[in-house]
Structure 1
Amino acid sequence: MESEENPITIHLISSSDSPEFNHLTHALTHSSVIGLDAEWKPIRTHQSTFPTVSLLQIACQLTDESPVFLIDLASIPLQSIYHLIKDAFASPDVLKLGFRFKQDLVYLSSTFCAYGCEPGFERVEPFLDITSIYNNLQPRQPGRRLSKQTKSLATVCQEVLGISLSKELQCSDWSQRPLTEEQMQYAAVDAHCLIHIFEVFKAKVVTEGNSVESVTGLQLSHLDLGLKQILATQQNSNKLCGIKFGEALEMVQAIPPDFCKTAPISDEEVTALSPDQANQMDDVLSLIVRKYGDKILLSESDRKPKISRKKAKKSSGRVANTRSRTEGGEEWQGPPPWDVTSGGDGCPKFLCDVMVEGLAKHLRCVGIDAAVPYSKKPETRGLIEQACKEKRVLLTRDAKLLRHDYLLKNQIYRVKSLLKNDQLVEVIETFQLEISEDRLMSRCTKCNGKFIQKPLTTEEAVEAAKGFQVIPNCLFKKNLEFWQCMDCKQLYWEGTQYHNAVQKFVDVCKLND
């Protein structure tokens, strides 16, 4: 039995005197399950005050739509929305979903208190953390405990829904206005995926809990995974989330424009709420709340930033040292270690730490030597030793590494951009790298090795791939040329993905201008 997909509709709320605000009120009183998330401008560690929350996301599930409300806390008067949110947080008829939401609640409460909304938010109840849902979805093995390792939301989405969420915009400046379309879509998807993960869990409770079925007689219809279905059937160049189709050049399918759409609302669309229309939990949901439900309660100690005096004293000196280097705008001082006037070979070489590992693959795609750390969890000393030994410039987004510039001399640069394409352009411009179309796709994106200069025929490629790599049968009739990495022996061919990638980097690097 099939069900129609409910598309996500985004409603940006920046005023309490608007149809969108009325629609939010309507949705909160008609939804028995809501997903919560919040965004704020990234802060430095050891800050003496909590960050100001700029955006609150509330995902609802109604019969005819799945709206996500983005409440612009930087624009709307907080007093006008305080009681509505507080009542929803404490309503026994609404199950709240979140991912490690306690920190969000602490920051939200601090933000509202700063604008006279005392005493802020003290509780969220009933509440169910997505981490708890994930753990309960794991198969139980007798005599074996589940791992206590906390998964990221992106990992949970990948394992439960088969959807990969990009977190590139997580650390963007959420205090800037107006918000970009990409930021709004990212924020909406982060909240909406909580609803879908819960629906998978609810389906398991129904199908496996005989007691539930006997009490309710409820048969769950086809589980609406519209989020996955839409992503699996449509394409876009957006990088918010998508279904992975393999590692070749990290090509990712993304959200289509009509997946998350911002829709105007007329006053006629918002109907008045009668007492008998109030949201009610069904028997299955009530059982889930009783068996798995939790709550978040904030104590007085939660409302104060936890700063170790010893660490704060140390960090203050470190920040001062960092500022002395970065007051000039964090510009590259040069020359790089490959500079011929300094005895270098003239070939740019970079080491990308784990924070910009995606940038390494982009650099390789345009023909630049870009390595990654030897270890998956490298220590600072290891990064420094590798950069010095291989005469590379260390690329990072970690400001704390800048204080080691006296050890690295001119071998460290902090990347300021958040998105990989922007990071690539920034590095090219900063180090004045020469990029040409004939160098695109000239390095192995998997290991950074160079390709064997002579292309392989189909027969040679089949022989080279034996016991190592499977070549699709559909390629044999196309008379393609194959290329092999001299280091890891990975085979590549000039198929559709290759040509799409070449065109992408021609556009990013503006090689046609």
Structure 2
Amino acid sequence: MGYPTMTFEGQITYSRTAVEVEKAAMEVLKTLEAKKNEMDKNAVGFDIEWKPTFKRGVPPGKVAVLQICVDTSCQVMHIIHSGIPQSLQLLLESSSILKVGVGIANDAVKFLKDYNVSIKAVEDLSCLANQKLTEHSKNWGLASLTKKLICKQLLKPKKIQCSNWETNYLSKEQLQYAATDAFASWYLYRLVLRSLPDIEKLEEVTVDNQSEEQAVSCNNFQTAEPLAASL
């Protein structure tokens, strides 16, 4: 049975100049400030894209696109053209804004190498899933995690995934792909994984319950024995 497709149907804002990206980053900061009383921790879905290389020995391109998603709004920033404006750097380097995604630590390393900006406060959803799910630890991808947790498929068409992210203007298909990935990360963290108990805590509860059941069983046995002896 095929799973329904997960798509982002919220608002996508595309920015490609320094002024536009600055405005987009300020909008994210403003949204998080307004929501800080609703959430115990400010969190954004985070992902990046870059132009792949198909020649041996040729390194991949710089990070070209940065996606940040909060709730039903996603900012797709074409930073290969804009660079990193002040507000965006502030957002990325903020330790009070959690950035969530799969393989996000590697993304942070690449971003530091490409733009000399240190992305702080990151949460890898693959690692978090291994704390929450009963399976043995595995290297989750965003698509496999989406299927496992919410029974939806996250499409990864190669013609989009491996497209030219350094192009002058992103296509509608590229924008939709980028926004959906960031949204999936935000959704899985905010509405699914965060609320699941850790496996260790769940095992502790199970052990405690088993101990209580055993104690009740022993007590029943002890009260039953004198009654049987008096017959």
* TM-score with structure 2 setting the length: 0.69
CA contact (8 A) 2:105 2:124 kept: no
User: In the TM superposition, what are the counterparts of 1:75-86 in structure 2 within 5 Å?
Assistant: 75-76=81-82, 78-79=83-84, 81=85, 83-86=86-89
Query: Greater RCO between the two (CA within 8 Å, min separation 6)?
Result: 2
1:133 to 122, 128, 138: 128
1:195 to 179, 186, 189: 186
2:139 to 150, 168, 176: 150
2:69 to 52, 59, 65: 59
- Rounded to whole Å, the distance in 2 between the matches of 1:14 and 1:123 is 20
Match for 1:153: what amino acid? L
The question of 1:70 aligning with 2:76 is answered yes
The alignment of Structure 1 onto Structure 2 pairs a total of residues equal to: 182
Q: Structure 1 residue 71: deviation in Å?
A: 0.6
Match for 2:170: what amino acid? L
Match for 2:88: what amino acid? I
CA contact (8 A) 1:51 1:107 kept: no
CA deviations over 1:293-348 (Å, ceiling 9, x no partner):
xxxxxxxxxxxxxxxxxxxxxxxxxxxxxxxxxxxxxxxxxxxxxxxxxxxxxxxx
CA contact (8 A) 1:55 1:72 kept: yes
Please identify which structure carries the higher helix content. Answer: 2
CA contact (8 A) 2:111 2:118 kept: no
* TM-score with structure 1 setting the length: 0.33
CA spacing shift, 1:35–1:94, aligned 2, 3 Å: same
- Rounded to whole Å, the distance in 2 between the matches of 1:160 and 1:195 is 13
Q: 1:421 maps to what in 2? A: none
SS at match of 2:161: coil
CA spacing shift, 1:53–1:101, aligned 2, 3 Å: same
SS at match of 2:65: strand
CA deviations over 1:419-478 (Å, ceiling 9, x no partner):
xxxxxxxxxxxxxxxxxxxxxxxxxxxxxxxxxxxxxxxxxxxxxxxxxxxxxxxxxxxx
Q: Structure 1 residue 162: deviation in Å?
A: 1.4
- Rounded to whole Å, the distance in 2 between the matches of 1:154 and 1:45 is 27
2:152 to 153, 156, 163: 163
CA contact (8 A) 1:50 1:110 kept: no
Instruction: Answer with 1 or 2: which has the greater Rg.
Output: 1
User: In the TM superposition, what are the counterparts of 1:366-445 in structure 2 within 5 Å?
Assistant: none
Q: Structure 1 residue 21: deviation in Å?
A: 4.0
SS at match of 2:120: strand
SS at match of 1:57: strand
Match for 2:133: what amino acid? Q
Q: Structure 1 residue 24: deviation in Å?
A: 3.0
User: In the TM superposition, what are the counterparts of 1:174-253 in structure 2 within 5 Å?
Assistant: 174-198=165-189, 199-205=191-197
CA contact (8 A) 1:38 1:53 kept: yes
SS at match of 2:80: coil
Q: Structure 1 residue 36: deviation in Å?
A: 1.0
- Rounded to whole Å, the distance in 2 between the matches of 1:151 and 1:50 is 23
Runs of 4+ more than 3 Å apart: 44-50
Q: Structure 1 residue 95: deviation in Å?
A: 1.3
The question of 1:88 aligning with 2:72 is answered no
SS at match of 1:17: helix
Q: Structure 1 residue 41: deviation in Å?
A: 0.9
Q: Structure 1 residue 11: deviation in Å?
A: 0.4
CA spacing shift, 1:30–1:92, aligned 2, 3 Å: farther
- Rounded to whole Å, the distance in 2 between the matches of 1:184 and 1:164 is 18
2:118 to 122, 133, 138: 122
CA contact (8 A) 2:93 2:117 kept: no
The question of 1:39 aligning with 2:45 is answered no
The question of 1:9 aligning with 2:15 is answered no
Q: 2:100 maps to what in 1? A: 97
CA spacing shift, 1:106–1:37, aligned 2, 3 Å: same
Query: How high is the sequence identity, in percent, across the aligned residues?
Result: 21
Q: Structure 1 residue 161: deviation in Å?
A: 1.6
Q: Structure 1 residue 25: deviation in Å?
A: 0.7
CA contact (8 A) 1:28 1:60 kept: no
CA spacing shift, 1:180–1:25, aligned 2, 3 Å: same
Match for 2:29: what amino acid? L
Unaligned segments of structure 1, at least 5 residues: 1-5, 113-119, 140-145, 210-513
CA contact (8 A) 1:58 1:70 kept: yes
Q: Calculate the aligned-residue CA RMSD, in Å.
A: 2.8
CA deviations over 1:134-174 (Å, ceiling 9, x no partner):
223313xxxxxx42331221110011121101111211221
Q: Structure 1 residue 30: deviation in Å?
A: 3.4
CA contact (8 A) 1:57 1:68 kept: yes
Q: Structure 1 residue 130: deviation in Å?
A: 0.8
Q: Structure 1 residue 88: deviation in Å?
A: 1.9
Q: Structure 1 residue 102: deviation in Å?
A: 2.7
Q: Structure 1 residue 26: deviation in Å?
A: 2.7
CA contact (8 A) 2:62 2:114 kept: yes
Unaligned segments of structure 2, at least 5 residues: 1-7, 33-41, 202-231
SS at match of 1:59: strand
Quick check: 183-192 or 50-59, which moved more?
50-59
